[in-house]
Structure 1
């Protein structure tokens, strides 16, 4: 199966979806899963069958570095 952006997350099988421990269980979480081809899929926890966004590990690494550096804090204010 080729997994691309917008594929229904329910069609991504054989992976483990993870969410942050900071989640309080009210459906406001993003879940992520490592893909067999090395990519990383993201989905909304409140819509586990909805569309998934897929990024390369390099793209995820760049985003995480920005998040750790507080570059996106304004989005959560």
Structure 2
């Protein structure tokens, strides 16, 4: 099944939502799930029934590569 950006996260069925092990348990986490067609859904753990953003596998890979390279470190520091 293909999902559009902004789909209510609870409408995405049969996936496992995962958050970082670096999460400190205060509910301020980003959760991700791999969808059947290889896309990646992202949701805010504070609002698990809120909207999910859906990215292609290529978009998710590009973001992860940039994050691993430290390209976004300025956003949280």
TM-score range, shorter chain: over 0.9
* Number of residue pairs matched by the alignment: 77
* CA shift digits 1:40-62 (9 cap, x unpaired): 00000010000000001111110
- Give the Å deviation of 1:7: 0.3
Give ranges in structure 1 of 5+ residues lacking alignment: none
TM-score under structure 2 length normalisation: 0.96
TM-score under structure 1 length normalisation: 0.96
Q: Which runs of 4+ in 1 moved over 6 A?
A: none
1:15 alignment partner in structure 2: 15
Q: Report the RMSD for the aligned CA atoms in angstroms.
A: 0.8
Matched, 1:44 2:53: no
Secondary structure, in 3 states, of the residue corresponding to 1:74? helix
Matched, 1:25 2:19: no
